[in-house]
Amino acid sequence: MENLNNLITIFLSALTPIGELRLAIPLGLTKFNEPLWLVYMISVIGNFIPPIFILWLLPKISDWLMQNSKLINKFLTWLYARTRKRAKHKIYKYGPLALILFVAIPLPYTGAWTGALAAWLFNIPIKKALPNIFIGILIAGVIVTSLTIGLQKIF
């Protein structure tokens, strides 16, 4: 039963917008001492769920809000224009690689949640965004796992 509680905690940690893999993998490997393959798999699955909902629901919610609120319409129109203007050259230059790298680098304000928001802001279709986010999550998982194991050996 304790093992199941540990796995649920790892999964829920991977779902969080700030923790994501940066929290779930070290927690699973160091505190709970669960097998590497299991921690990696549960963390990746947990981290992939939020982008699915973000990319599926956020366009519907924002469209509805823009249609029903002049203030929100004005704000979101400004936000889209500003964001696209500031970063479009990078997005268009690197294409899918930009989204993969953005999700793959396990630093604050990067990751699957932010990658999904970026895909929404840049109007990247869900069928293109989700595979790239998933690849980024897989890479981030390898990086975080490697760092966790390396730090465990040092300390």
Rounded to 5 degrees, what angle do the CA atoms 148, 9, 46 make?
75
Range 66-90 average pLDDT = 87
**pLDDT for 87:** 75
For residue 93, name the pLDDT band (cuts at 50, 70, 90): confident
**What digits encode the pLDDT tens for the residues 95-147?**
778 999 999 999 988 999 999 999 998 888 999 999 999 999 999 999 999 99
What global pTM score does this model have?
0.92
**C-alpha distances out from residue 105 to 10, 34, 96, 145, Å:** 20, 24, 15, 13
